[in-house]
Structure 1
Amino acid sequence: MERGRSMAAAALIGVAVMAAVDEIVFHQLLGWHHFFDRSTPAVGLLSDGLLHTAELLGLVAGFVLWADLRRRGTLSAAHAWAGLLLGAGGFQLFDGLINHKVFRLHQIRYVPDLLLYDLAWNGAALALLAAGAVLAARARRRTGAAGRDGTETGR
């Protein structure tokens, strides 16, 4: 089993899925913001299109890596599930802290008091990260430490 590659491939999928959820729900369905809101509406739509392109490329690349692991019989499903949640939570937290607060590319929603939105957004990210960390720890205990050649040593 390739634990690290299983986790990395699924983490890429998790990042892309969370980007898709963000874009579909908050950018398109609710219309709360665009990826880049500090310019014209046309630039906002362009930035959403670029985000959509990146998320699709991430999904394709992640699933190609995942399929290769499955084809070779080296996919660790337990590590992949952990990676999926870690990737999704990592994207969500990066978006909430870096894109929203540091770079100020956009806010979750343009309202006078953002605190509840920020707490919910970043709280959801932390919950995904915590669930992914728990799954990663369980997967590591279940499969044992990897040997020098990358194979599982088992317990």
Structure 2
Amino acid sequence: MTTASGAASSRRVLLAGGTTGFGFGAVIDVVIFHLTLQTHHLLSGIYDPYSLDGMRTNVMFDGLFLFAMLGVMGVGLGLTWRLVNGTDVRLSTTYLVGAIVVGAGAFNVFDGVVSHYVLDLHNVVHGTEAWNPHWLAVSVLMLAVGLLVLRFADGHTARSD
């Protein structure tokens, strides 16, 4: 991207894909770890997940968080739709996928640092902090993979061969 309009388009793709990925990463986290495996809940560091009242409260906040993150993902998809339909420039699918992976990695890093360490809202697995560093390491790896995909993608446009 050497032109100003090309750089602006790249930023728009990164914003749209990153927002979609941030919401998608959160939705996957809630569905897999909070609701299906039940290894943790959003506020399991505050409300005891082993009591009935604590579980009800945790599941309620998991659901509210899920709806909020579906909204974030919807905003990202709306930005992507607007970007795709509002330009004659062919966008790179690889660049968009990289942006989505960056967004998902960013959510996981945010979750790992803020939820697990700063606010102590929950651990990856109830009752132990042993898995928190592993979660954070995988999250940073996901973010790095997304950044590598962005770096090696064609940019924001597809080749017109």
TM score, norm. by length of structure 1: 0.82
Output aligned runs, 1:1-155, within 5 Å: 2-37=9-44, 38-39=46-47, 40-71=54-85, 72-74=87-89, 75-112=91-128, 114-115=129-130, 117-139=131-153, 142-143=154-155
Q: Compute the displacement of 1:76 (Å).
A: 4.0
Q: What secondary structure does 1:64 align onto? A: helix
Specify every segment of 5 or more residues in structure 1 that has no aligned partner in the other structure, as ranges: 145-150
* Aligned sequence identity (%): 26
CA contact (8 A) 1:99 1:105 kept: yes
Q: Compute the displacement of 1:43 (Å).
A: 2.1
Which deviations, in whole Å up to 9, do the C-alpha atoms of 1:16-48 show, x marking residues without a partner? 111111101111111112111212323212210
Q: Compute the displacement of 1:111 (Å).
A: 3.9
CA contact (8 A) 1:9 1:65 kept: yes
Q: Which residue of 2 aligns with 1:148?
A: none
Task: Give me the whole-angstrom Cα distance separating, in 1, the residues matched to 2:21 and 2:68.
Answer: 13
Q: Are residues 143 and 109 of structure 1, via their aligned partners in 2, closer, same or farther at CA, if it must alter by over 3 Å?
A: closer
Task: Give me the whole-angstrom Cα distance separating, in 2, the residues matched to 1:98 and 1:67.
Answer: 31
Q: Compute the displacement of 1:108 (Å).
A: 0.8
TM score, norm. by length of structure 2: 0.79
CA root-mean-square deviation? 2.0
CA contact (8 A) 1:10 1:81 kept: yes
Q: What secondary structure does 1:32 align onto? A: coil
CA contact (8 A) 2:95 2:155 kept: no
